[in-house]
Amino acid sequence: MLQTIVKGTVRKLGVLGIGVMSIALLASGCDTTTTEQPATNQQAQVQTPAFDVPTLIGKNIDEIKAVLGTPQQDTEPNAQQLKSGVTEWEKQYTKDGKGLLVTYSVVTKEVIDFFITTDKTDKEGLTTDKQHLLDIGNLKEGVAIYKIDFVKALKNPSAYTGVKATPVK
């Protein structure tokens, strides 16, 4: 249809009309040159998780050690601690300034929960950035295989010390 309109216009306007129409089209912003947009630092940056907690769900502490390596302090409760009733123990990992504390049963080696701390803290070790806490462990709210609990600070209930992911049985 556009071609029919243009042909009809050409017949009516003649050569002089075509020149005028071409100038009008160029003046109206039909510029075919491209301009590059300057790169901005405000583009969303994708954060690589320090820990991939969902892939650790269902593994026991020995299997987690095989994946994450040796924890900062690789200790087990001694005989006296076991005799006094200690049933849970923990392993702590740090990567890129972010922490993961894995609590497990000393009897079954089954993981009880994963606690993630943040690198984005104020001077008291607190944060208000829930999404950043989730991102550190590659976690999402509302997932069926684990339950998320943000751990509020005692002195400042509007801030968090970390996030706990508890496997759902």
- The set of long-range contacts for 94-98, using a CB threshold of 8 Å and a minimum separation of 24, is 95/50, 95/51, 96/50, 98/50, 98/51, 98/136
What is the rounded distance in angstroms from the CA atom of residue 45 to the CA atom of residue 25? 41
Instruction: Give the total number of structural domains in the chain.
Output: 2
Whether residue 9 is found in the same domain as residue 88: no
36-40, 73-77, 116-120, 131-135: which range is least confident on average? 36-40
The domain in which residue 12 lies consists of: 1-28
**Residue 39 resides in a domain:** no
**Residue 154 resides in a domain:** yes
Whether residue 15 is found in the same domain as residue 80: no
Q: What is the pLDDT of residues 105-115, one digit of tens each?
A: 999 999 999 99
**Residue 34 resides in a domain:** no
Whether residue 60 is found in the same domain as residue 120: yes
Whether residue 18 is found in the same domain as residue 72: no
Answer whether 126's CB lies under 8 Å from 159's CB: yes
**Residue 98 resides in a domain:** yes
Whether residue 24 is found in the same domain as residue 62: no
**Mean pLDDT (whole number) for 132-145:** 96
Query: In terms of pLDDT, which residue wins out, 117 or 13?
Result: 117
Answer whether 148's CB lies under 8 Å from 133's CB: no
Q: What is the pLDDT of residues 45-60, one digit of tens each?
A: 557 899 999 999 999 9
What is the rounded distance in angstroms from the CA atom of residue 42 to the CA atom of residue 61? 40
